[in-house]
Each structure stands twice: as structure tokens, then as C-alpha cells.
């Protein structure tokens, strides 16, 4: 008599440990820049970060944090700005962050010119 064992469903085990499954989902779609930065930081150790980012870029996600990056109107933005006119220091910081986003995408094997459209 032999016992047939069902295959272990690893995807269920992995999904339970994903940060977007452990924390409030609204955090990834917040209007608050501070909460979006927190969501980005939680994505840092996610085992599906690269796949999540690639999928969001392919679907042109309209907004939210996907794969550790903030999407707004289908494009990756370095950070969410509050309403109103940005300060000069913020504009300079955004340029630095845009460069950092490019480097992170390249480090993950994503060519931003073809895979992800960066917002100006």
C-alpha cells in the first residue's frame, strides 16, 4: 500500500510572508508621501519585488507602490510630492531620486527605457 502525497503549495506559503499581505493594503495606495515611503521600505526584502515591479510596469499601473517603486499615472516617480508648488530643494532632490530609481531598475535587470516609463 503506497500513500500518494499532494505536492506542497509553496505559493501559499510565500504569499503569507509578503509585506503587502501582512500589512494594511491601503498603505500601498496612500495619499501620504510618508506612508508611501514606508510601503517602499517594506518592499525591500520581498522575494517577489522584481516580478511585482515588472508586472506593474507591463500593466501600466495607474498608482500605488509596486515592487518598491511609486507609480503615478502609469509611470515610476521617485517620490510622491504633496500638493502645491515644490520648493527648489525638492526639485533638486527629485532629480537625484530619479537617477537613483534608474540605477535600482538597472540593478534589477529592468531597462527603464523599455520596461518602465519614468515621469518627468
Q: Does 118 reside within a domain? A: no
| 37 in a structural domain | yes
pLDDT band at 119 (very low <50, low <70, confident <90, very high): low
Q: What is the pLDDT of residues 62-113, one digit of tens each?
A: 999 999 999 988 888 877 766 667 677 777 777 888 888 788 878 877 765 4
61: pLDDT strictly greater than 90: yes
- pLDDT tens sequence across 20-53: 888 898 999 998 888 999 999 999 888 899 999 9
Does residue 4 sit within a domain? no
Annotated binding-site residue numbers: 20, 43, 46, 52
Q: Is 14 within the bounds of a domain?
A: no
Q: Is residue 120 part of a domain?
A: no
Known binding residues for [4Fe-4S] cluster: 20, 43, 46, 52
Tell me if 113 is assigned to some domain. Answer: no
pTM, whole model, 2 decimals? 0.57
Inside any domain, residue 28: yes
Domain coverage including residue 88: 19-108
Q: How many domains does the chain have?
A: 1
Does the residue 117 lie in any domain?
Answer: no
Q: Taking a C-beta distance cutoff of 8 angstroms, is the pair 90, 81 a contact?
A: yes
Let me know: does 66 contact 56? Beta carbons within 8 Å: yes
Q: Are 94 and 86 in contact (CB under 8 A)?
A: yes
Amino acid at each position: 500500500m503506497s500513500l500518494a502525497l499532494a505536492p506542497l503549495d509553496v505559493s501559499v506559503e510565500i504569499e503569507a510572508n509578503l509585506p503587502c499581505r501582512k500589512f494594511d493594503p491601503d498603505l500601498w495606495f496612500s495619499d501620504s508621501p510618508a506612508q508611501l515611503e514606508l510601503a517602499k521600505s517594506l518592499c525591500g526584502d520581498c522575494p517577489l519585488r522584481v516580478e511585482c515591479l515588472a508586472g506593474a510596469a507591463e500593466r501600466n499601473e495607474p498608482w500605488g507602490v509596486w515592487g518598491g517603486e511609486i507609480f503615478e499615472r502609469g509611470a515610476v516617480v521617485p517620490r510622491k510630492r504633496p500638493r502645491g508648488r515644490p520648493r527648489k530643494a525638492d526639485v533638486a532632490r527629485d532629480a537625484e531620486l530619479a537617477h537613483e530609481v534608474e540605477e535600482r531598475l538597472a540593478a534589477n535587470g529592468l531597462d527603464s527605457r523599455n520596461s518602465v516609463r519614468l515621469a518627468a
